Structures are given as C-alpha cells and as structure tokens.
Amino acid sequence: MSSWETVIGLEVHVELRTETKMFCSCPNRFGGEPNTHVCPVCLGLPGSLPVLNSRAVEHAAAIGLALHCRVQRSIFHRKNYFYPDMPKDYQISQYDLPIDADGWLELPSGKRVGIERAHLEEDTGKSTHVGGGGRIHDADHSLVDFNRAGVPLVEIVSRPDLRSAEEARSYVEELRGILVAAGVSDGKMEEGSMRVDANVSVRPLGSGSLGTRCEIKNMNSLRSLGRAVEHEAARQVRLIEEGGTVTQETRHWNEDEGRTSSMRSKEEAYDYRYFPEPDLVAVDPDPDWLETVRAALPPMPADRRRTVAAAAGMEPGSDAVVTVVRLGLDGYVEAARSAGADANLAVRRLANEVAADSGSVGNLEVGSWVALLAMESEGKLTTAQARTVLKELLAAGGDPAEIAAAHGFEALDEDVLAGALDEVISADPEAWARYLAGEDKLQGLFIGRLKAATGGKADLAAASGLLRARRAAASP
C-alpha cells in the first residue's frame, strides 16, 4: 500500500430542513404512518404540477455561500430512470446548471477541499423488501412508502481532493458542522438526513493522473465511511498488483461483512436522457436577496475555531479547539474570556471533562462556569477538585463555592499555601540549600511534602510557581 495513493471525491446528499416538500405542500417530516404525507404531486400523478419551495432555494443558496461557491442562475432537469419508489419515473434535479458551483471547504487541518457543485433535487420514496433478508431479489414482496418522495435535497459534490479515509471523515464532519450551523439540516447520518457516496481510486504515489474510480454506496456512519474507503482502496491496489484493472462501477458497502461488492456498472449521464423540466422556470437569484441570505449566516466552524484558538492561545486545528467547536461550546469560551477568566483552561476543561461527560453543558450556567474557572486559576481548588465540582455542575447545576465547601474543598488561599510552603522549607534547610544551588530535581521533594502538609489540598501548579518565586527571591 505504501507506494500507492488513495484519491477520494465525495457526493453528499443532504435533506433540507423545510416545513414542506420540494414541489408540493406536504409536510417534510421524518417517519410517520406510511403514505400519509402524500399528494398528487409527490405521488407523480398525471396532470399534477410542481411548485418550487422558496425555503429550499434559500437553504441551497446558504449552502453555496457557506461553501464559498458562486450562487448562480440555475435550471431544473428531468433525470429519467426506472425508480420503483418514484412513480413518475424521473427525478427533478439540476444538471449542467446547478445553483452552486466552484467553492471550497476548509478542514481543521487547514487543507482546502474543492467543491465542484451543489444542486437541488427531490428525494425518492422508500422501498422495504419483505422476506429474503431484506434484499430485493430474494424478497417475497415489497412495500413502498412515499412519505419521503419529494423531500428537498441538496447534493454536494467535492473535487477528488481527499487523500485518506481519515480526511474523508474529517470532510464529512466539517460539512455536517457547516450545514447544522447554517440551519439547513439536522445533519443526522443515522436518520439519513446526510447520505454519503464515496468515489475511490488509487494511483502510484507521485502520479499526476487519476486512476479509475468506483463509487461506494450505503455507508450510514462516519465509521463505516472510513472502513469502506480503506477496504476499497486496498481491494483496488491488490487487483492492480495482481495484473488486473479496476472497472468503473457502483459498489455496495456491506457493514457486517466489512467489504464492498459490485452493484451495477457505472451509468453515464446520457443513460438518464436529461432534458429541461418544462414545468419549472429558471431560478435566478437576485444579488440583494443573496446578500440577505449571506447576512443571516452565523459564523462557520472554521472561523469559530480561529476565534476560540485566539482566545485560548492554541492552534485552530488542535484537538481541543476542534472538539469545543464541534460540540458548539464556544459560547462558554467566550464567556470565560469576556469575564477575564483563563480561556485556555476553559478550552481544556470543555474539551476534556465536558466532552467526556456527555458532550453537553447540561445544567451548567455561565455564571457558575466562570466562577469555577476563577477558583481553579486562583488556586482555591486543585485540578482534581475542580473536575469534581464541574461534574456536579453539569449534572445538577448550583453554586461552585457551595459544592466545593460541601466536599470539604475549603479554600486554600494563597496565604495559607505560602505559609505551608515556608514551613516545609524551614523544616529542611539542607535540602533547600541544595535546591538553591541548582539541584532542580528537589522541587518534587518540596511539592510532595507540601501536598502531604496540606492534606492534598494544595494547588500543585500554584505551589510550583510559588516555590520557584521563593528560589528567585533567595538567589543572589
């Protein structure tokens, strides 16, 4: 594998969060009794006419702007196909004139991944094959639910810029963050609100041309996306090294077997007999309207990472910063910063304790949060004690000082700490002289004794600082 490079381009289908479907006024809602969110339009009955959902267009424009695309004049096409769960046998989609074109997305690593296009289309219904393990050819009969038919989708197509399974996952995670921030989708992969197809090819390391790709479908989590890409790249390398060639095809990821299998040969655009949808006019976004869409967009994750990183003195791509922004906890960093608390400590506590606890701030109020940080920074609580208090604040809220007092974490303020340290020093003048003479390892001895003398209540970071200050003051 080491002399090969994996090349990945992703197609992500996003279900848009709208009240109604793409071309009719049926509710756009996940689940529900089968075939209850339907009407002549989304059932494809003859004579029915589509009416474009303006909110869907607004969401598609927001996606384009968030992905640095050109949001342009677009038209709809009919994509003809035999869809068992789409009785009109064509999907209304966009083809050579998509609404969004030529953008990019920035990964936490700083790498920019090109966005080729993003276009509007409608979802199909959903078939369930009964009997035969759920597979169509062994099924006894099939059921079809049209509740999903006509749900607005945007398909976002990346350029083949991704180079590993890890990068592919990072891209999807970043895209999800952007879509959720823009308010256009709930980003739930498990419910199918975000569906990812991966185009994978391999090429000799250093080669400037692209290998033949396979498109993999049916991955419904980030984990399976990563596994599928890795498996597929290894399969292609093995095939080529054995003297074979990769055939362009669509492959199905089998989660249980951990492998991909051939589904169908690759369809070409001409197979679909695309032609302009005669029942819809072109969408030509007005520049002023686009500006209002842009103005309504909140800061995107990449910008938020920069803000958090600057406050905390960390790198925007560092795990702690990425985690805080992914969990949407940046408001708690800003609260700490603006209250004059230690924003670096805030990021570390959020990325570690809060992320590990449940990923949400639960009952933690901003005021208590800032007060807790201050108590820890001032050395009134040790790290371990601060973690304990934080856990309780997350679970039940409350006043950090009261919680600390209830645990007997009484304030070991700086005077007490300093007094205890002076006692430890004067109890062993010989060791102190050696420490002053440069025997640095004795720091551990003094800190250990201080810890014992204070019953474990000394803030060790503050104590170390104090010890060094005593040495600096005593040195000539």
For ligand ADP, what does the binding mask look like between residues 339 and 378, x meaning CB under 6 A? ----------------------------------------
- Is residue 214 close enough to count as binding Zn ion by CB under 5 A? no
Tokens matching residue 467: 């010890």
Asked if 24 touches Zn ion (CB under 5 A), the answer is yes
Contact 404/389 with Cβ under 8 angstroms?
Answer: yes
Backbone angles phi, psi at 316, to 5 degrees: -60, -25
Residue with Cβ nearer Zn ion (39 or 290):
39
215 binds ligand ADP (CB under 6 A): yes
Q: Which of residues 185-214 bind ligand ADP (CB under 6 A)?
A: 199-201, 210-211, 213
Q: What span, in angstroms and rounded, lies between the C-alpha atoms of 214 and 371?
A: 55
d(CA 10, CA 5): 16
Cβ proximity of 74 and 98 under 8 Å: yes
Sheet with 90-93: list strands edge to edge.
90-93, 77-80, 275-276
Q: Which of residues 41-100 bind Zn ion (CB under 5 A)?
A: 41-42
Minimum CB–partner distance for residue 344 and ligand ADP (Å) = 39
Element housing 407 (H / E): none
Short-list 404, 350, 341, 351, CA closest to 374? 341
39 interacts with Zn ion by CB under 5 A: yes
Long-range CB pairs of 76-79 (<8 Å, 24+ gap) are 76/120, 76/276, 76/277, 76/280, 77/274, 77/275, 77/276, 77/277, 78/274, 78/275, 78/276, 78/277, 79/121, 79/272, 79/274
Of 240 and 460, CB closest to ligand ADP:
240
- Of residues 95 and 446, the one with the C-beta less far from ligand ADP: 95
Nearer to ligand ADP, 117 or 380 (CB): 117
**Contact footprint for Mg ion (CB under 5 A):** 11
Among 110, 461, 62, smallest CA distance to 297 is for 62
Of all residues in the shown chain, the one whose CB is closest to ligand ADP is 9
What is the nearest approach in angstroms of ligand ADP to the Cβ of residue 14? 14
Stretch that binds Zn ion, among 38-46, 174-182, 205-213, 334-342 (CB under 5 A): 38-46
List the alpha helices (DSSP H) in 47-164.
Answer: 54-66
Nearest to 115 by CA among 79, 66, 80, 164: 66
The two most distant CA atoms of the chain are separated, in Å, by 99
Burial 303-325 (b: 16+ CB within 10 A, else e): ebbebbbebbebebbbebbbbbb
Question: Which of 5, 11, 173, 357 is close enough to bind ligand ADP by CB under 6 A?
Answer: 11
In contact, 202 and 211? CB cutoff 8 Å: yes
For ligand ADP, give the closer residue by CB, 233 or 412: 233
The residue within the footprint of ligand ADP, chosen from 28, 158, 323, 382 (CB under 6 A), is 158
Identify which of residues 133 and 270 has a Cβ nearer to Mg ion in the complex.
270
SS3 105: strand
- Write the DSSP symbol of residue 300: P
Residues 277/76, Cβ–Cβ less than 8 Å? yes
Whether the Cβ atoms of residue 425 and residue 446 lie closer than 8 Å to each other: yes
Residue 24 contact, options ligand ADP, Mg ion, Zn ion, none, Cβ 5-8 Å cut-off depending on partner type: Zn ion
Instruction: Return the one option of Mg ion, Zn ion, ligand ADP, none that residue 157 interacts with (CB less than 5 to 8 A, by type).
Output: ligand ADP
The two structure tokens encoding residue 210: 């692209």
Is the distance from CB of 230 to CB of 180 less than 8 angstroms?
no
| 42 touches, from Zn ion, ligand ADP, Mg ion, none (C-beta below 5 to 8 Å by class) | Zn ion
The least distance separating ligand ADP from the CB of residue 60, rounded to whole angstroms, comes to 16
CB 163 within 8 A of CB 198: no
Residues 7, 26, 71, 412: which binds Zn ion (CB under 5 A)?
Answer: 26
Min dist CB 26 to Mg ion, Å, is 28
Helical segments of 251-300, H only: 287-296
Of the pair 264, 407, the CB lying nearest ligand ADP is at 264
Complex with ligand ADP: residue 200 or 314, whichever CB lies closer: 200
C-beta of 148 vs 213, nearer to ligand ADP: 213
**Among 159, 217, 387, 391, which residue interacts with ligand ADP (rule: CB under 6 A)?**
159
Stretch that binds ligand ADP, among 23-31, 87-95, 153-161, 337-345 (CB under 6 A): 153-161
- Euclidean distance between CA atoms 17 and 180, whole angstroms: 10
Q: Which does 7 bind (CB under 5 to 8 A by kind): ligand ADP, Zn ion, Mg ion, none?
A: ligand ADP
State yes or no: residue 98 binds ligand ADP (CB under 6 A).
Answer: no
Shortest gap between Cβ of 95 and Mg ion (angstroms)?
Answer: 13
What x/- string results for residues 109 through 148 when contact with ligand ADP is judged by CB under 6 A? ----------------------------------------
| 471 contributes a contact to ligand ADP by CB under 6 A | no
**Chain positions contacting Zn ion, by CB under 5 A:** 24, 26, 39, 41-42
Interface with ligand ADP by CB under 6 A: which residues?
7-11, 157-160, 199-201, 210-211, 213, 215
